[in-house]
Structure 1
C-alpha cells in the first residue's frame, strides 16, 4: 500500500489544453484516480485538486513547471512543437499529443488555406516525435476523427444548431461519405490508456468512433438527438457550388469544400489502438437538450 501511495505521489501529469473539450475530460479522469495534475491555462482558474499555471504556448520562454512525468497536449500541436524544448525535464517519460486525421483526409483539399494548415500540422508531428526521441522520451500521437461532445464541440453541435434553426439539412450529393464521430470523453480515456501502455510508445494512432456511418445517417442521428423529424434534402454538387456564395452567410466558418466532402469516405482503422491500449469508444447516439 505504501509503495503504491508513493508511486502515485511521484506521478504528476501536465495537461496543456486542460480547459478545452478533450483536455477537460483528461483532467477530470486524472482527478478520479487521485492524481493532482498541473494544468496550463491562459487565464487564472481555481478548480479544487488541480495546480493551475498561468501561461501561453506562444510564449514558451515564460513556461516553468515543477517536475512532471507525463505530458498530455490537446492544444494546437503546431504551438507545442515550438514550445516542447522548454518542457523537457529529467522526470518526463511520456508525451501524448492530439493531432488530427485531417493530416490524411485533407491533403488534397481544394482550399489553399486548409492545405497550408495541414502541411504545418504534419511538420509539427514530425518535430514532436524527433524532439522526444532526442531526449529519450516516449511519444504517442493520437489522430481523432470527428470530435463531439453535445452542446460544446465545433463539429456536431454547430450542425445541430443549423438543424434546430431551419428544420432541415442540405446534403451534397446525398452525403454517402462514411464518418466515424468520436466522443471527447472517449478520447480522454484513450489518451490516459495510451500513456500507460508500453506498446503505444513512439507510434501514431487513428482514433475513430465506435460506429461507421454514412454522413446522411450521422445527420439523421442528430435529428433524432434533437427529437425532430428527419428532413434532409439532397443537393447536386454543382448546385452547392453555385449557391454557396449566396448561402455562406448562413454557415459561418464553412467553405465550399466542406459540403463536397460529404460525398467522401473518411474512415480509419481502430485495430492498432484497440490492440495496444484497449481503445473502445461508444456508438454515435448524441442527445441534445
Structure 2
C-alpha cells in the first residue's frame, strides 16, 4: 500500500493527476483533514482509502502505517522526522520525502531548521539494519497556477503596479519549478525505486533566470507596460523592519526581502540522469499561470 500525505495540496494535486493518468493500480491511503476538499480523490477511480487525522499525533501516524509499503510525504517537511521514525518502527520499505532547496540559504532562519530536520533523519537511518530506505526531493520555488504562494503574488503585483521596486535591480537568479513537473517527478521517483533509493535530488526549473526577467516576462504576458526601479537591498530590509514594528510583528518579511538578494538556482542534473527529469521552460509555465489569472480577473 502507498501512503500519501498532502495529496489535497498544490503539489499533491499534480501528483494525484499523474497517478490517475498512469492508471496506478495499487492500494492508496491518503491522510486528509475534515476541512479538505477531497473531490479530486473521490472522482479519481483509484483504489484510495481516505483517513482523517492529525500528523502531529504520533499514535495516529503509527496506526496509519499498518499495511503500508511506501510513504510519499508531501505535506510538511517539519513532520518528516516523525514520519520516518514511524516508518522505521513499522518496517516500512521506503519513504519519499518532499523537502526544499531552502536548506541551502545563507540566512540562518531560512536554512537552519531544514538542516536540523535532515540531520535527525540521517541519525534515524544510519543503522545498517534500518528497514526503511529514504529518498529526499528538494524542489525550488514552486509555481504553476493561482494556488501557488510565489509567482501568483508576483503576477498580482505586476498587474497592479505601473512603477515597481525591484531589489538590487533584480539581478539575483532563481530557478522556479512548475508544480506539473513536480507531479511527474514524484510519480517517476515512486516507480523508480532501484535508481533513486538512498539519494537526494534538487528539483528545479529548466534553467536559472534573473528576477528582473521574471517580472518582464510576466509584464509581457499581461500585455502591460511597467517601469522597474532598482532598490538597494539595505533599503528594502529597512522598510521590512519598519513594517514589522508598525504591525507589532504580525508582518515579518525581513528575511524574505534579504533572500531576494541571494541567488537561488540549483542544478537538477542528477535527477535528469537517474530518472529522466525534464522540466518545462519558465516562459511556458508562467504563460499558463498568467492566462489563468487573466481568465479569473479580467472577464
Q: Please state which band the TM-score falls in when normalised by the shorter chain.
A: 0.7 to 0.9
Distance 1:183 1:247, change over 3 A: same
Unaligned runs of 5+ in 1: 1-11
Unaligned runs of 5+ in 2: 294-299
Q: Give the C-alpha shift of residue 125 in structure 1.
A: 4.4
Say whether residues 1:184 and 2:179 are aligned partners: yes
5 Å-filtered alignment, 1:69-108, equals 69-87=69-87, 92-104=92-104, 106=105, 108=106
The alignment partner of 1:135 has SS state of coil
Distance 1:91 1:244, change over 3 A: closer
Q: Give the C-alpha shift of residue 259 in structure 1.
A: 2.7
Which is worse superposed, 69-78 or 45-54? Answer: 45-54
Q: Is the 8 A contact 1:171 1:235 kept in 2?
A: yes
The alignment partner of 2:170 has SS state of coil
Q: Is the 8 A contact 1:31 1:37 kept in 2?
A: no
5 Å-filtered alignment, 1:251-262, equals 255-262=253-260
TM-score (norm 2): 0.80
Give me the CA root mean square deviation: 2.7
Between the two proteins, the alignment pairs up a number of residues equal to 272
5 Å-filtered alignment, 1:106-117, equals 106=105, 108-109=106-107, 113-114=109-110, 116-117=112-113
Distance 1:267 1:155 in 2: 15
Distance 1:203 1:129, change over 3 A: farther
5 Å-filtered alignment, 1:142-221, equals 142-197=137-192, 198-221=194-217
Which is worse superposed, 145-154 or 165-174? Answer: 165-174
TM-score (norm 1): 0.83
Among 278, 281, 284, the residue aligned to 1:280: 278
* Partner of residue 32, structure 1: 21
Q: Is the 8 A contact 1:193 1:277 kept in 2?
A: yes
* Partner of residue 266, structure 1: 264
